[in-house]
Amino acid sequence: MNTRTPIQPATHPAVLSVSFSATGNRFIAALSDGLRCFRTDNCLTTYHPTLPLSSTGDRCEGGYAIAEQLDDRYLALTAGGRRPAGKSSVVVWWDALLGREVAKFDFREEIRGLRLSTKNLAVILEHRVIVFFHQTLKSEPRSPSSPGQAEPHFPNKDAIPMRHEEETASKAPNIPKSLHPTGPNPYALASLQGDTLALPAQSTGQVQLITLISESSKKRVLRAHTSSLRQLSLSSDGALLATASEQGTLIRVFDTHSTDQLFEFRRGVDHAVILSLAFSPCGTWLASTSDKGTLHVFDLRPPEATALAAQIDREARERKQQHRKSQSLSHNPHRLSTGPSSSLSGTGRSTPASITPSAPVTAATGTGYQGSVQEYYGLRPVPASASPSSAGPSVSALAALKASPWAPKVFKDVRSVASAAFSMGDDPPHWQGGINSSWTTAPDGKRVRVKHPVPPLPADPSGRPPKGLLCIKNRKGAAGDDEGAVIYVVGGGSDAKWEMFELVPAEGGGWALLFIGFRRYLDRQFVG
């Protein structure tokens, strides 16, 4: 870590939060002085307003701690940071096409997070989640040159539709739908995909699955972990749910319709904070990132019946061979004999005088091994040719331990098929700005140094910079993700990076994660 104090402050702002759009084609960064939107595939800026404007046209200088993007037009914002642009209890609904806010909601308490879909907006509070439906608003005439109001800046002109009269009608989440109590939710855990909403339940380690339909909201509860939840994520079709606890060692996948557990994967054996979970578009892969700086990819494809039967048969033969080998070593160890007809098996050790030192080393089938005096006293190892022949493939000690019914569970858990390191950044302790400490006068008149705490974030009470946010897309030109995927990892803080990995088949079988490159997306620096 670079502990040197910079001579001049950084010219770019800090990224307080980052999130992907519902389709995964865009991601938005909430900055300490505004916001910025990017393309996911190449990290190019799509929308960067000079300064957000209020409905009255007044400039609102300050930062935003939460930002969610529905598409290229609609944004949901909540102020935050050391110099917030407003109250942390207010959600601002922003229309990028009109370049202004079209709705505002005050919840009278701090907002932890937001989730967006094409139909709903979920507002995450400390102990409950409120769901809204989108409503089409009447189009309002707008003066082309309003005083004090700037035109929005779109570097990517293809990302914004044309300004036709019928397209200027905006929509906003104006219809309250439902309220769902949760347990304490300091990390703003929630996942919204289509009409399915996953939230922490009021009991520790449980998840509630809510179906958001117009008539009612059906709820199912499943027990995911014994300890508190740390991360959860739904697949794009809402059929799969991935969860991780605060221990960070196991990742479980559930069927949202039957609430049955389908998979359990082991990330590691030591404690870790799971930063993000993401499914591939077709539900073939599951990716996870942790504060260890490691990206893991797990295979969700069920094994074929023939492959499964072959694996079971192979494991049975390995166990049988291991048992036969252990019996051979315990009941028929390497014996010493004076000739083919005078085997000493069962008669105990022979005396050194009965051994012919010049006897050749043979391993004929059905005859005893004629060893030497040095081998008898352990001065020279027994040659490999004297070892009992094995009818099948050799079995390692680890494989034998895994096959044993008394083996610990940690040896039998399924692990990732590929892993790679990603950047955790080089952020200073007070990455949001400000000084680390200051001097003051104690009651006894002495000057003491007081350390300043790191300001908390809405989704992280510790105030750590957001890192390791995941998005998985299909490889270019591929119809599905059976032959691999492209994985994007985005981090925030003062050292904000966008990274690109590609999951490809490895030579000799298996899978490999290739690092393609990274970009400091606030500086437009790319390294491949």
Q: Is residue 500 part of a domain?
A: yes
Beta-carbon contacts of 461 under 8 Å, excluding residues fewer than 6 positions away, are 186
Q: Is residue 19 part of a domain?
A: yes
Q: Is residue 404 part of a domain?
A: no
pLDDT at 321: 75
List, for residues 328-362, the tens digit of each pLDDT value: 655 554 444 444 444 434 444 444 444 444 444 44
pLDDT at 229: 98
Identify the band that residue 384 occupies on the pLDDT scale cut at 50, 70 and 90: low
Check pLDDT > 70 for residue 309.
no
Give the span between the Cα atoms of 31 and 18, in whole angstroms: 9
Among residues 195, 194, 192, which one has the least CA distance to residue 216?
A: 195
Identify the band that residue 413 occupies on the pLDDT scale cut at 50, 70 and 90: confident
Give the span between the Cα atoms of 41 and 213, in whole angstroms: 33
Identify the band that residue 213 occupies on the pLDDT scale cut at 50, 70 and 90: confident
Q: Would you say 53 and 59 are in contact if contact means Cβ atoms under 8 Å apart?
A: yes
Give the span between the Cα atoms of 110 and 459, in whole angstroms: 11
Q: Is residue 521 part of a domain?
A: yes
CATH number, domain containing residue 245: 2.130.10.10
Q: Is residue 388 part of a domain?
A: no
Range of the domain at 498: 15-140+149-303+462-527
List, for residues 34-65, the tens digit of each pLDDT value: 999 999 999 999 999 765 544 445 555 689 99
- What single-letter DSSP state applies at residue 493? B
Structure-block tokens of residue 475? 């490889």
Is the pLDDT higher at 334 or at 427?
427
State the chain's mean pLDDT as an integer. Answer: 80
Give 452-476 as a 3 state SS string. Answer: CCCCCECCECCCCCCCCEEEEECCC
User: Based on the number of CB atoms within 10 Å of its own CB, is 301 exposed (0-12), middle (13-18) or buried (19 or more)?
Assistant: exposed
Total count of domains within the chain: 1
Handedness of CA 98, 99, 100, 101 (dihedral sign): positive
Strands (E), 349-479: 418-421, 437-441, 447-451, 469-473
pLDDT at 51: 57
Measured CA to CA in angstroms, residue 381 lies from 171, 346, 373 at distances of 82, 22, 11
Mean pLDDT of 324-330: 61
User: Based on the number of CB atoms within 10 Å of its own CB, is 43 exposed (0-12), middle (13-18) or buried (19 or more)?
Assistant: buried
